Amino acid sequence: MAFRKPPDGGWGWVIVVVSFFTQFLCYGSPLAVGVLYVEWLDAFGEGKGKTAWVGSLANGIGLLASPVCSICVSSFGARPVAIFSGFMVAGGLMMSSFAPNIYFLYISYGVVVGLGCGLLYTATVTITCQYFDKRRGLALGLISTGSSVGLFIYAALQRELIELYGLDGCLLIVGALSLNILACGSLMRPLESCHSSPPEKTCGEKVADQYFIYHEKEKTVEENISILEKGYIDEKCANHVPDCKQDSILNKNILSSINVSEKDTYKKKVVEQTNFCKQLAKRKWQLYLTYWKETVVLFKNKVFSALFVAILLFDIGGFPPSLLMEDVARSANVNEDDYYMPLISIIGIMTAVGKLILGILADFKWVNTLYLYVTTLLMTGVALFAIPFAKSYLTLAMLSGILGFLTGNWSIFPYVTTKTVGIEKLTHAYGILMFFAGLGNSLGPPIVGWFYDWTQEYDTAFYFSGFCVLLGGFLLLLAALPCWNACTNQSPKLPPNTYSYKVASSA
């Protein structure tokens, strides 16, 4: 099937709506896992660091497995992957209601739900990009708010369900709600033209066909050799060798029926196939070498190297508040009667606002997106340092809103990556950065939890988190300063297709 030109509308808006609800349904519970985290602490009596692994795995494993998710969507299509992943998310949530210990939750909630969310994210982004070209930024921005709205609603919903039905009942109901992903996935109609001619095969496929499709006479020879290997007789050979009982006699008689020219043809074909396999293996090896060489070239770009460190440290330090803020309030002895809204809900709604506002700012020509991103990192670090001084619901709510807004810098991260490495290397660079972002998501909450287990208070933990984010922000700022670029202008030239931030931003 050949893909039609993206319509930038029509059924594409249906795709946007169902993708929005897909991210809403799949990411609602994992992003609002802080409500469940408090309940799991009481239910299993494990340490905060060990319990925090559940939520961190659910949010990080999808990013860690992003290459696998991309391969699945490319191989099977967005619709089948979305439907299959809907079963994974719903099944994982329902299985978690029967968890006998925290280790069971690592698999059911952390791995199964997390991997399902990663597959769904890749499927929704892929199908949306296929339907939109000129309005792709708007479409992706709309569907990305689904996860933030899910965080806002699921934080209050899960709290209410726990009060009414308990933790197990809450997970069962949330898992049942996730089954609506199946309906959303069924509407992800692939953008294909049923009446178009088949796409022209690539050169590699044509070469492969030349070695595996032969004339009728050569097929007979291959069939005879196949008989030698498998040990059975077809109708043609049976007429010459009746009632054969031993493989050795059968092989001799069949070989004798093959004339010399056919043997030469077969030998020639074997040699050609062997050479083809060698060339194919050599090409694959060259592709791997090229990939790693390009990766080395990317890290020679000082801004990309600093961006890699910054995103890793940002996720280690900046992600834990969305998971642990409810327990922070409980540790600060905040009166539950003062709760007007769950702190995680505030983070969720402000994250959506931050994504929209920061995305709009990034479109202005006078705004340097790299400096804008650095500003959000530095402000996040300062806000994290302020958490230990917040002892009331009002101050915690204000800090939650600020952190949520600044976390919306995810919407401008692709802009920053593009400006850093150039559009030609965006896919390669973004995949590397997302892997380490997932690593940071997975490590951040357990590290903060271990600090609490060690010191029995969150102050040291959030000082550490703020230090990580500030360090990443200052390193990125230092690498992006124009004076630093001027000092390094006399250094050896970068290899072809490598971009400094200055060059890429002017392109």
pLDDT category at 259 given cuts 50, 70, 90 is: low
Q: Could you give the CA distance from residue 28 to residue 440 in angstroms, rounded to a whole number?
A: 20
- Within-domain flag for 503: no
pLDDT recorded at residue 494:
40
pLDDT recorded at residue 327:
79
pLDDT category at 221 given cuts 50, 70, 90 is: very low
Q: Could you give the CA distance from residue 502 to residue 507 in angstroms, rounded to a whole number?
A: 9
In total, the chain counts a number of residues equal to 507
Pick the more confident residue, 1 or 44: 44
The share of the chain scoring above pLDDT 70, in percent, equals: 73
Average pLDDT score, the chain: 76
Pick the more confident residue, 500 or 416: 416
Q: Could you give the CA distance from residue 139 to residue 232 in angstroms, rounded to a whole number?
A: 59
CATH of the domain at 16: 1.20.1250.20
- Radius of gyration, CA atoms only, the chain: 29
pLDDT recorded at residue 194:
47
**Average pLDDT in the 235-261 region?**
50
pLDDT category at 93 given cuts 50, 70, 90 is: very high
Phi-psi region of 45 (alpha: psi -120 to 50; beta: other; left: phi over 0): left
Q: Could you give the CA distance from residue 273 to residue 482 in angstroms, rounded to a whole number?
A: 56
The share of the chain scoring above pLDDT 90, in percent, equals: 23
Q: Which of 160, 193, 226 is the last residue of a domain?
A: 193
Q: Which of 193, 220, 249 is the last residue of a domain?
A: 193
143 C-beta neighbours (distance < 10 Å), count: 23
- Within-domain flag for 256: no
SS3 content of the chain, % helix, strand, coil (to 5): 80, 0, 20
Q: Does 417 lie in the same domain as 307? A: yes
Q: Does 476 lie in the same domain as 363? A: yes
Pick the more confident residue, 359 or 248: 359
Please, what's the b/e burial string for 159-168 (b: 16 or more CB within 10 A of its CB; e: otherwise)? bebbeeeebb
**What is residue 252's three-state secondary structure?**
helix
- Within-domain flag for 223: no
pLDDT recorded at residue 376:
93
- Within-domain flag for 299: yes
- Of 65-74, 207-216, 355-364, where does mean pLDDT reach its minimum? 207-216
Q: Which two tokens stand for residue 398?
A: 């204000």
**Highest mean pLDDT pick, 108-117, 204-213, 278-287:** 108-117
- Within-domain flag for 457: yes
Q: Which of 144, 175, 193 is the last residue of a domain?
A: 193
Q: Could you give the CA distance from residue 318 to residue 468 in angstroms, rounded to a whole number?
A: 9
What are the tens digits of pLDDT across the range 182-192? 999 999 988 76
> Helices marked H in 342-458 — which ranges?
343-363, 369-386, 393-407, 413-421, 426-455
- Within-domain flag for 158: yes
- Within-domain flag for 115: yes
Q: Does 86 lie in the same domain as 177? A: yes
Q: Which structural domain, as residue segments, surrounds residue 16?
A: 1-193
Pick the more confident residue, 260 or 189: 189
pLDDT category at 352 given cuts 50, 70, 90 is: confident
pLDDT category at 214 given cuts 50, 70, 90 is: very low
Q: Is the pLDDT of residue 498 over 80?
A: no
Look up the pTM and report it: 0.65
pLDDT recorded at residue 192:
64
pLDDT category at 408 given cuts 50, 70, 90 is: confident
- Of 94-98, 145-149, 226-230, where does mean pLDDT reach its minimum? 226-230
Q: Which two tokens stand for residue 382?
A: 């300062």
**Highest mean pLDDT pick, 1-5, 147-151, 235-239, 399-403:** 399-403
pLDDT category at 280 given cuts 50, 70, 90 is: low
Q: Does 316 lie in the same domain as 176? A: no
Q: Does 153 lie in the same domain as 39? A: yes
**Average pLDDT in the 177-203 region?**
73
- Of 125-134, 217-226, 240-249, 363-372, where does mean pLDDT reach its minimum? 217-226
474 C-beta neighbours (distance < 10 Å), count: 16
pLDDT category at 131 given cuts 50, 70, 90 is: confident
**Average pLDDT in the 276-303 region?**
73
pLDDT recorded at residue 227:
42
What are the tens digits of pLDDT across the range 430-471? 777 878 888 888 888 888 888 888 888 888 888 998 999 999
Q: Does 303 lie in the same domain as 427? A: yes
pLDDT recorded at residue 241:
45
pLDDT recorded at residue 47:
83
Q: Does 289 lie in the same domain as 155? A: no
pLDDT recorded at residue 474:
92
Q: Does 470 lie in the same domain as 333? A: yes
Q: Does 473 lie in the same domain as 361? A: yes
pLDDT recorded at residue 475:
92
Q: Does 307 lie in the same domain as 184? A: no
- Within-domain flag for 229: no
Domain tally for the chain?
2
